[in-house]
Structure formats: structure tokens, C-alpha cells
Structure 1
Amino acid sequence: MKYYEQFISKKDVERIHENVVRIFENVGVVFENQRALDTFKEHGARVEGNKVFIPRNMLEEAVKTAPETFQIHANTVGDATLGGGSMLAGGIGGNIYIQDGGRVRKMTNRDVVDQFKLNETSPVTQYGLVNPFMETTGFSSDQKIYGRMAFALKYSSKYRFSVNCITDGVEADQVYDKVKKGIQLVRDFEGIQDKPVIMEGINPLSPLAFDNAPIEKLYANCHEGQALWFTPCSMPLLTGPPSVAGLLSTTTAEALAGLVLAQLVRPGTPVVFGNTSASTNMRTIQLCIGSPEATLIAYATAAMADFYKLPFRNGGALSDAKDVDFQAGAESMMLLQATLASKPDYILHMCGVLGTFNIVSFEKFLLDEEIIAMVQRQLAGITVDDNTLSYDMIEKVGARGNYLQGRTPKMFRQEYQMAKLFNKEDPNQWQKEGSISVRENAREKVMDRLESYQAPTLEKEQLELIEKYIPAAFKDSIKF
């Protein structure tokens, strides 16, 4: 039995799938892009205005052509495999604020670089992540578009498949060409011309729509043989139905509509199926990602991906809290439990999330790593064999004996997860040593981690390819 079946049955999954088919055939999906409308028409879908009605057989054929697993290739850092529970994770991305000493402020470029370093030195992240630069005064137009990508190529030692060019502000008719140029930059840097080297994120516009720019990105990546991920983020009662099952129906339809188009454009295009929808605070009309419903959606996403035999994305250390407090810890533990138990192939926002995706906390980044270690140990379960039953030791020590003899045995270190930041000391001793809070302890360790970052070594030819795209402040180093 799969872990997700505690929360959603295979019969429920089939019913949601049938609801998706009904939505496709009777409600339709809006594509605000003529190229997409023409593609659907050419393949026999009914198109009315900018609304596409996808027949069952078209959906079924598209799902069959999408691979169950695939690789993103890189000569510099090795190939990344997505699928089969690969659980490739990155820290929080896309935020514009930072929690800094009890206040929330807008990020600076220095914060962006420090966030990057924290992700690079993390033991729980596998791919490099660079936030868009906050201050772009003095950047050339190419640096605004490709600067983040070039920065990652130069300074990341981890997989870089999730760092794309920035097309915000680019004219609609230029998005396609700009994205293709970015793909070619990575190809040339890696010396790989005929395989996927990047994965582009495509976000539907809930409910049941895609606007123009994401579709142009889709076409560019499909034509260049790259991978895609589709991740709706719908708010119940606003951009989705008021029930969890209804929300799963519309968001699954959104992700699959993108998949169908990708397979029509280029059969076999690698696709990651995702969903980051959650709850809605109807008092303030805000998305609530630190909710029990978000965990249910995470499990359901795993179940739907299993049904369609697709790699998938969900989860992270999600929280709506604005400070590193009890709420932040409780919500992050709840969401990380669901994330690690459902074993997604691609995880964004693995560490450091506050303020409903909008705020990063460096202290929370490290504390989330601690939570991850706890959950991983729990999910590993109890090993029962002749060695762990320890009968010979029990017999030797006997009744009222003492097992503490000499150095701490390897078995204990393997069996029991030891906290690095959480306080496990005697309360009197803790008080004598200054009553240091967990947050203060984490802040001190953040500085150590930032100091430990080391840039990778690149070939001269690689540096020449990317140098003109890197903003002047970061061309030579990222030490402050």
C-alpha cells in the first residue's frame, strides 16, 4: 500500500480523473495564445474562440508519450534523474522579502547571494537556486534576462536545471527567442547540444487558463527538446472550487492541459506534474500554504502522478508565519512530513519558507534542515535483525547493568538522530549558559555556513561564454 492511500484511495483517484475528462470535454481550458489554439485544432480538438476542449483519447495518448523518468544533463555537475522518487530539492525560491532580526524587509542583491550560498552549502538540497536579482540598476538588458542563469552556471556546484532566464518585462513577441537563447547558453556551457539541459516551470492561470508568455516558453522548450514542469497554485473559493476534491479536479486539469499541449508540440517531452494549491483565508483573501489541506493536496498530487505514471512536484517546509516562531515550526513540520512521505521527484521551497512563499528566513532554513533530519529518521522506521536485537549485549550487561561502556557505539549513532540546533540540554545548564534560544543558535550557524561556501572551478572557455551576462558586481567573486 502506498503511503498516500491513507488519505486518498485509488478509487477516489479514478473519480477525480473522470471529473478531469468531463472538464476537458464540456468546460474547456482557455489558451491565450494563437499558436496553441492552432496546434490543438490541427490535432482534432474542438476550439471555440480561445477555449480548447480536449477529448479523452487525446489526453490518454499524451500521457502515454510523457516519460516516467528522464534526465537533465550536465557535464560539469553530472546528470540529474527525475522520476521514481528522486526527491531532488532546492531551498525557498521566488521570495522578495527576508526576515531579518525580528523585522521583515525587502531583499537586496547581497541577500540574494547569501541565500544562494546557504542553498549551496546545505546537506539537504541537490540543485542550485538563485532568486531574481532585486536591484538591477546598471544591468544591461541581457544581464537582466540571463544574469541569474549565468550566475548559477558560474557559482553553483549543484544541479542547475531549475534556473531559467527572466522574461518579465520582455515584449510578448520576443519571449520565444529569448528563452531559446538562454537554452543555447546552457548547451554551449555544458558542451551538450542534443539532450535536455534545463527544465522550465510553467504555471497555469487558475481557473483553467494559460496566458501568453508561459505558452511561448513552452513552445521554445519543446522545440529545443527541453523539460517542463507544470504547477498550478489555486485558491479554493477564489480560483478553484470550495472542496478539496473539486480543487484537485480543476488543478489536475490545468497541469494535464499543459502536458497535452507539450506532447502535441513534441511527443516525448519530459514533464513534471505538480500542484502547490492550498487553502484560502477568506477574512483576508490570502493563500494559506501552512494548512492541513495543503498536506492532503500533497498526498493527492503523489496519487494522481502515480495514476498517470509521471514524475511529480509538491511540498516543502511551507508556512504562513511571519516570524521564526511556534507557528512556523508546527506548519513546517506538518508539510515536511507530507513531503518526505509522498517522495516527490522535484521539491522547491524545501527550506527557509515564511510568509506564504514571500519571505525567506536564513535561521529557519537551518532549522528546517533539522526538521528534515527528524522526519527522515521517523520514516526510516525500526530495523529489526539479529544485530539490532542486541541479545548478546543484553545477556552480557544483565539486570541492573549499564550499557554505557567506553566510546559511543556506531549502532547508537545510526539508530538515534542527534539534534544539531534544537536544545536538548538540562534547563539549569541552559540558563547558566545564557538562555540561548534556538533561533539565536541558528543565526550564529548561518554565518558559519556562509563562510564555508566555495565557488567551483571553471574552464576559461566556459567563463568567456557567460561573463558578459554576469552583472559587474559578481563577475570576479561573490564575497562581500
Structure 2
Amino acid sequence: MRKFIDDATIQSAYMQVLEILEKVGVRFEREDVRELFKKWDARVEGDKVFIPRNLMEEALDSTPKQDYTVPAKKRVVAATPFSNAPFILDDDTGVIRRCNIDDAVKLYQINETSTLYECTNPGCADPVDNDAPDQFVAQVAMSLKYSNKYPSIGLRATGSNSQNGDVYGSARRALRLVREFYDVWDEPVMSQGICPNPPLAYDQECLDNLCAAIDEQQAISIFPCSLGFMTGPESIMEIVIHDFAMSLAGLAFIQLKSPGHPTSLCEFSTISNIQTLQPNYGSAEGIFIQVIYYELCKYLSIPCVICGSYGDGTAVDYQAGMEAMLTTTLPFSLTEVNEIWCYPGILAGFACGSFHKAILDEEMMLYTNRMLQGVEMTVDPKLPELLAAGMDAGTFLGIGSMDTYRRDNYMTKIFNKWGIAQANNTEKTNLAYKVQQVLESRIAAYQLPERSAAQKKLLQPYLPSQCQYR
């Protein structure tokens, strides 16, 4: 089985993680959280919790496990567009601006009109013209109005997007709204992403969101977002150990508070550009960090995914395409991973999104899935007859099977494959023009999901005025 790091290194890294939890500790900035750890005999000094090895292993025992031995078809799949970008690149002018409600609705239309996407999430973080009393709940309500897909919410309640600054209350109302909407009370109906605060900390706001997810019995994904040499150590291996310790500390709290609670991990950390003090996501190093973290999760059978389609640029260009392709395909050559989850349209380290890049990333994913599909190795017993007929005709056009051709060949509808004939086909080879056509056709094809009168009544008070049912 292919691994990026060997078993001895994995075991050594895990031992170092346990030592950090036990001797260095992790900050938890909520007193009730620290009190819970105290009840389980963890040492607490100020806001710092020191988690003993036996307690951590007990928490791991109650964590639902993933069977990594089950064979699965290799593929890339889209979570949602943009992840949670607060800014939008205007693809026509090149201007970067704050996202608005129209952008958010447009993202749901893109999300719903492609089978590549399997989740829904407020991809435009905190639209500038959101006029709802509780802006966080409003964004979750919009996902329920505009999408039929599983809510996997990466956005979290904050002091600025929650009504009266009540982060826990806002988060709890949003998660409860999803339950009421689906009228499902005995299992999770969504997942909530939780990003700790490096180095080695969970602040009040983070814990408010985490506690709300636990109290509403929704699935939780912990995803550290450390930056090497800034909020985490400067070496790749050390930043992974730091992140894994921070993640396991959060997992320990979840399992102590609610044993058996569905919890998964994911890594969004990367190296930093020391010249600009910004993250470098469209890089091989960022993928190395994800892969090592993934293999640590696999070692403990903790559910984990690797993500791709990153781009550091602020333009849809050669760099954005190269980085998206690199970060989507490299993990398959480094480790035995079955799926890569993508967030099409990401630019500038999650800060910015582009609708044109989203469409181009989707096409890149289709190409990647074709690559992973491989080749059908069976040979038609009638091949000698086909070759004889082709030799007589001097061509296989009209003789061969179009179905077989389509099975073995992926023909892009977007990328330029006109070769030297492109000079006489300017319109057909204009990439931006073709992408815009695809975008417009997808938006035109979107149909607002049908909702019952009860569901509409439930959502209506929470929606921004622009999105309310008429």
C-alpha cells in the first residue's frame, strides 16, 4: 500500500502528539469546557488543559471510525463552490469586491446544476447586503431554500454576523432550523465545520459554535487552518504534528461531552509566504501537509478527506489552472486515497472566488476523473473484421462504434482543442466567451427547489428581504 510516510514515522508522530497534549496543553477559552476536562481528571492551569494519554485514548475509542480498507472507485468530487469566500473576482473587469446576496444565490444555482457537487454551503461568506436580523441564520436558511443537497456548513457564527452578538444562540438556532426543516430528530442532518485557533487554542467563538453543534447532535468536522512560520511551526512535519494535536484536543472534548458523536477531521493548513505574510495554498507543500495529516487520521481510523482545486492567484489564468490541477491530482500519487474533495472557484487562499474559475475547475475535475477511470482493456472479438473494413475504406469513420469512442475518449466542451485551426475559429476558441455561455446556461436551467407551505413558513422570518418568498 502506497504511503507518503512510513509506519515508524507515523507512530513516532502520534507519540509526539500525545506528549504535546499531555505536557504542552491546549487553550480552551470557555470555563464550562475546562470544567468538563477537570471532571475527567485532566490537569487545568488557567485556560490551558493538559490531556493525559489514557483520557485521549478513551475519547478515540468512542469516536466513530472509518474503514479505510473498503475498496472504492477513485474520483474527485465537489463539495461546494468557493468554500466561504468573502470577496468575489469580477471576471469581466478584474475588480475584487465584497460578495453580495446575488452572488450567493448565483452560487447555489451553479451548485444545483451539476452532479459534481454533493453538498451545500454558504459559499459567499457574510454578503455585504444581508439585511436579516440574524445574518448567520439567514445564510443557513438560504441554503435550505435554494439547494436540495446535504448541508455541510463551513461558515460559522461570529460576533459580527450573529443577532446581538450572541454567537452560541445564533449557531444553535441555525442548526435547529435545519432539523426543523427536515423534521429529522434522531440523526444528524448536516455537518458543521469547526476551525480551531492556532497555535494550540480554541477561543470562545469557536467553542460556542462547537458546543451548539454538539447540543444539536449535528455531525462535526474539525479543520485546522495554521500557517507555517506564522501561526504554526515552520517545518512541514512539525506543523502537521501541531495541527493533529490541536484537532485531537477538540475531538477529546466532543467525545467527553457526547460519546459516539460523529466527528471527522480535515486539514486546511499550508505554508506561508514570508515576504507577504499570506498563505500559499496552490502549492505542493500544502498538499504534503494534507497527506501527512490524512495518514495520521488513517492510522487511527478517524474519518478524514483531502481537498484540492486550490489557487493562490487573483486572476483566472495559467497559474490558477496549474495550481488547481496540481492540488487535485498530486494526492493520488502520494498516498492511497480514494477521493479528493474540491471547492471550485477558489482563489487567493480562500479569500476570493471566481465564477469563471468555478466552471473551469469543474472541467478540470471531469478531466481528472477521466484520468482516474483508466482504459477499458477488453478487445472486441470482431476487431479483425473492423480492421479489414477500415483498411478497405481507408478510414474508420462510419465503420466504428460511436458508443465505444465516447466510452474511451473524453471530449471537452470548454478547453481549446482546435490546434492550428483555431485561427479561423476565434469565437469557438475564446475561453472566456465559452465559460460565460456555460455559466449563463446553467443559471437559466436552475429551478428553485419545491418546498412545502410549512417549510416556507419556517424559513421566511430568517431570510434576507431579497430572498423571501413572494
Partner secondary structure for residue 160 of structure 1: strand
SS in 2 for 1:372: helix
1:36 aligns with 2:33: yes
Aligned to 1:380: 373
Identity in percent: 29
Report the equivalent of 1:263: 255
Normalised to the residue count of structure 1, the TM-score between the two structures is 0.88
Matches within 5 A, 1:403-422: 403-406=396-399, 408-422=401-415
Choose the corresponding residue for 1:225, options 214, 217, 220. Answer: 217
* Residue of 108, 112, 119 corresponding to 1:116: 108
Task: Assess if the C-alpha contact under 8 Å between 2:26 and 2:201 holds in 1.
Answer: yes
- How far apart are the structure 2 equivalents of 1:414 and 1:18? 48
Q: What is the aligned counterpart of 1:49 among 23, 46, 50?
A: 46
CA spacing shift, 1:471–1:340, aligned 2, 3 Å = farther
Does the CA-based 8 Å contact 2:195-2:224 persist in structure 1?
yes
Q: Output the amino acid matched with 1:460.
A: A
Which residue in the other structure is 2:149 paired with?
Answer: 158
Separation in structure 1 between the aligned mates of residue 208 and residue 227 of structure 2, nearest angstrom = 25
**Structure 1 pair 110–172 and aligned structure 2 pair: CA distance change class (3 A):** closer
Partner of 1:99: 89
* Alpha-carbon distance, 1:432 to partner: 4.0
Query: Does the CA-based 8 Å contact 2:282-2:327 persist in structure 1?
Result: yes
Distance 2:290 2:383 in 1: 39
- Secondary structure of 2:119's counterpart equals coil
CA contact 1:255–1:274 (8 Å) conserved in 2: no
Q: What is the CA-CA distance between 1:68 and the residue it aligns to?
A: 2.3
Gap change, CA 1:140 and 1:367, over 3 Å in 2: closer
Is residue 450 of structure 2 the alignment partner of residue 453 of structure 1? no
**Secondary structure at 1:141's aligned position in 2?**
coil
| TM superposition shift of 1:12 | 2.4
> Which whole-Å CA distance do the structure 1 matches of 2:30 and 2:338 have between them?
31
2:8 pairs with 1:18: no
Instruction: Check whether the contact 1:299–1:338 (CA below 8 A) recurs between aligned residues.
Output: no
Give the residue type in structure 2 aligned to 1:370: E
Query: Does residue 254 of structure 1 match 2:246?
Result: yes
Output the CA distance in 1 between the equivalents of 2:176 and 2:276: 44
For residue 340 of structure 1, report the CA deviation from its aligned partner. Answer: 6.5
- Residues 352, 363 of structure 1: 8 Å contact kept: yes
CA contact under 8 A between 1:119 and 1:129: conserved in structure 2?
A: no
1:140 Cα shift?
4.1
2:242 and 2:74 mapped to 1: Cα distance?
Answer: 25
1:302/1:344 contact within 8 Å kept: no
Residue equivalent to 1:77: none
The residue type paired with residue 24 of structure 1 is L
SS state at 2:137 partner = helix
The offset of 1:240, in angstroms, is 1.3
Pick from 276, 286, 292: which aligns with 1:294? Answer: 286
Q: What does residue 433 of structure 1 align with?
A: 426
The one-letter amino acid paired with 2:82 is I
Instruction: Go from structure 1 to structure 2 and tell me whether the alpha carbon gap of 1:318 and 1:429 turns closer, same or farther (over 3 Å shift).
Output: closer
Task: Give CA deviations for 1:197-255 in whole Å, capped at 9, x if unaligned.
Answer: 22111111111111012112222222222211110111111111111110110011111
> Does the 8 Å CA contact 1:119/1:128 hold for their aligned counterparts?
yes
Residue in structure 2 matching 1:9, options 6, 26, 29: 6
Q: Aligned pair in 2 of structure 1 residues 344, 22: CA closer, same or farther (>3 Å)?
A: farther
1:264-315 deviation digits (Å, cap 9, x = unpaired): 0000011111111111111111100011111212222321221121221332
The 5-angstrom pairing of residues 126-141 of structure 1 reads 126-130=118-122, 131-136=124-129, 139-141=131-133
Distance 1:255 1:388 in 2: 56
Superposed CA offset, 1:387-437 (max 9, x none): 499566456646995333347521221112211200101423444434743
Query: How many residues are aligned here?
Result: 459
- Identify if the C-alpha distance between structure 1 residues 339 and 391 changes in structure 2 by more than 3 Å, giving closer, same or farther: farther
TM-score, normalised with respect to structure 2? 0.90
**Distance of 1:27 and 1:262 partners within structure 2:** 20
Amino acid at match of 2:87: Y
Relative to structure 1, is the Cα distance of residues 307 and 388 closer, same or farther in structure 2, using a 3 angstrom cutoff? farther
Give the 3 Å change call, closer, same or farther, for CA 85–402 of structure 1 in structure 2.
closer
| Structure 1 residue 69: Cα displacement | 5.1
- 1:320, distance to aligned residue in structure 2 (A): 0.5
Contact 1:148 1:165 in 2 (8 A): no
Alpha-carbon distance, 1:104 to partner? 2.0
Q: Which amino acid aligns with 2:147?
A: S
* Contact 1:314-1:344 within 8 A present in 2 as well: no
Q: How far is 1:446 from its partner?
A: 1.1
**1:469 equivalenced with 2:462 (yes/no):** yes
Tell me the equivalent position of 1:356.
Answer: 349
The Cα of 1:164 is off from its aligned counterpart by 6.3
Q: Which amino acid aligns with 2:415?
A: F
